[in-house]
Amino acid sequence: METTLLTVQTVIDAPLDVVWKNWTTPADIIKWNNASEDWHTTNAENDLRVGGKFKSRMEAKDGSEGFDFTGKYDSIKLNESIEYTMDDDRKVRINFSREGNKTRIVESFEAENTNSLELQQSGWQAILDNFKRYTESKLK
């Protein structure tokens, strides 16, 4: 079966070290890790090391549905990149790069076969856009 790779990206008006901290700290993750206002992350755990695991509990605010987003880290380069494998064996790579006083995040992930590619792309982009808003608002 052929794997489809999707990519989302953004540029955040924040220094790289701040972006990295907000991306990897559970107390921050629960504040930005949702694709829409009717969902939220109720709990996050993050063992940021090669072989370490992460888990974010994502739920609809009305309690109608929820799931654990889980996986294991394959590679971590501080303030540069994170690679992990989700528990369904799909791979993700996130690159962080400085652009002056701003930070670019490029996130590539293997698509799953349940939802349309457009829905997956827009959902992951919405989470990334939410991260951008959260990070920039903390600096004001």
Judge whether 16 lies within some domain: yes
Judge whether 62 lies within some domain: no
> What CATH number is attached to the domain comprising 91?
3.30.530.20
Q: What is the pLDDT of residue 140?
A: 78
Judge whether 32 lies within some domain: yes
Q: What stretches in the chain show pLDDT beneath 50?
A: none
- pTM comes to 0.95
Question: How far is residue 138's CA from residue 90's CA, in Å, rounded to a whole number?
Answer: 32
Give the closest residue to 19 by CA, choosing from 118, 94, 111: 94
Please count the structural domains in the chain.
1
Q: What is the pLDDT of residue 139?
A: 87
Q: What is the pLDDT of residue 23?
A: 98
Give the closest residue to 41 by CA, choosing from 51, 54, 31: 31
Give the range of the structural domain holding residue 113, as residue numbers without chain letter. Answer: 5-36+77-138
Q: What is the pLDDT of residue 68?
A: 96
**Tokens linked to 117:** 């590619």
Judge whether 24 lies within some domain: yes
Encode pLDDT of 125-140 as tens digits: 999 999 999 999 998 7
Q: What is the pLDDT of residue 119?
A: 95
Query: Which amino acid is located at 96 in the chain?
Result: F
Q: What is the pLDDT of residue 1?
A: 60
Q: Can you tell me which residue has the tokens 């009305």?
A: 62
Judge whether 102 lies within some domain: yes
Judge whether 61 lies within some domain: no
Judge whether 27 lies within some domain: yes
Judge whether 97 lies within some domain: yes
